[in-house]
């Protein structure tokens, strides 16, 4: 079994693909939600996904891993451990107390950053993180997610000179469900209303 297929199997086995009516963080309405936050409750599966991801990224050149608050932090942390790279994370907004930082963790200007999130849709969360990192003197040309929904993130990130790497697409996850007979072809194409 390929590593991609193993990731698909893991994500489906722990129920990361949900059908219903959802509004994504991008504001887009969808009848399919990829809930990778579930994976932190499955340590064996989480470890395997992190190991596969670290192998996927092993030849990439970067100095520091930056997790996107909050969904990117668990994966970024595990990658930091497997790849022996320092970790920082980027807040969505600064705190009203303490040091009021947008970036938590230690870094130096000029370092090359790998931005990590769980799922990409339009790329807005990653773009915001990239802007914050760059405005603090860091270099960003690579980002990574487990699942790309295929809704413009790759193209939007390319426009700001960031290459988005991902292991699987939403289409591949839905294709596996269809192959298993768990969802009809109409549901897989997004025609269903989420009630099935």
What count of residues does the chain have? 196
Can you give the pTM of this predicted structure?
A: 0.90
Tell me if 124 is assigned to some domain: yes
Provide the 3-class DSSP secondary structure of residue 73: helix
Pairing state of beta strands 139-148 and 112-116?
A: parallel
Tell me if 193 is assigned to some domain: no
Tell me if 195 is assigned to some domain: no
What is the domain count for the chain? Answer: 1
DSSP 112-143: EEEEE-SEESSSHHHHHHHHHHHHTT-EEEEE
Q: Which residue has the tokens 């390319």?
A: 158
> In the chain, which residue ranges form alpha helices assigned H by DSSP?
3-13, 43-57, 73-83, 124-135, 153-159, 170-180, 185-188
Tell me if 122 is assigned to some domain: yes
Taking a C-beta distance cutoff of 8 angstroms, is the pair 32, 190 a contact? yes
Tell me if 196 is assigned to some domain: no
pLDDT in tens, 79-130: 999 999 999 999 988 767 667 789 999 999 999 999 999 999 999 999 999 9
Tell me if 165 is assigned to some domain: yes
Rounded CA separation 192/22 (Å):
13
Rounded CA separation 13/128 (Å):
32
Tell me if 130 is assigned to some domain: yes
Tell me which residue range forms the domain holding 128.
Answer: 3-188
Tell me if 194 is assigned to some domain: no
pLDDT in tens, 156-193: 999 999 999 999 999 999 999 888 887 654 454 443 33
CATH of the domain at 48: 3.40.50.2020
List C-alpha distances in Å: 53 to 57, 65, 72, 160.
6, 13, 13, 24
């Amino acid at each position: 079994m390929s590593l991609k297929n193993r990731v698909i199997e893991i994500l489906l086995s722990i129920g990361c693909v949900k059908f219903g009516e959802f509004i994504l963080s991008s504001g887009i309405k969808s009848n399919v939600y990829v809930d990778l936050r579930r994976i932190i409750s499955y340590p064996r599966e989480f470890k395997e996904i992190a190991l596969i991801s670290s192998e996927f990224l092993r030849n990439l050149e970067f100095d520091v891993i930056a997790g996107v608050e909050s969904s990117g932090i668990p994966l970024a942390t595990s990658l930091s451990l497997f790849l022996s790279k320092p970790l920082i994370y980027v807040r969505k907004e600064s705190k009203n107390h303490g040091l009021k930082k947008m970036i938590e963790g230690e870094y130096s200007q000029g370092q090359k950053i790998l931005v990590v999130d769980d799922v990409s849709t339009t790329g807005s969360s990653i773009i915001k993180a990239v802007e914050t990192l760059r405005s603090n003197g860091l270099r960003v040309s690579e980002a990574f997610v487990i699942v790309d929904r295929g809704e413009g993130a790759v193209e939007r990130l390319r426009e700001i000179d960031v290459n988005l790497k991902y292991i699987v697409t939403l289409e591949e996850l839905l294709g596996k469900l269809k192959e298993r007979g768990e969802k009809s072809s109409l549901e897989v194409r997004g025609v269903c209303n989420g009630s099935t």
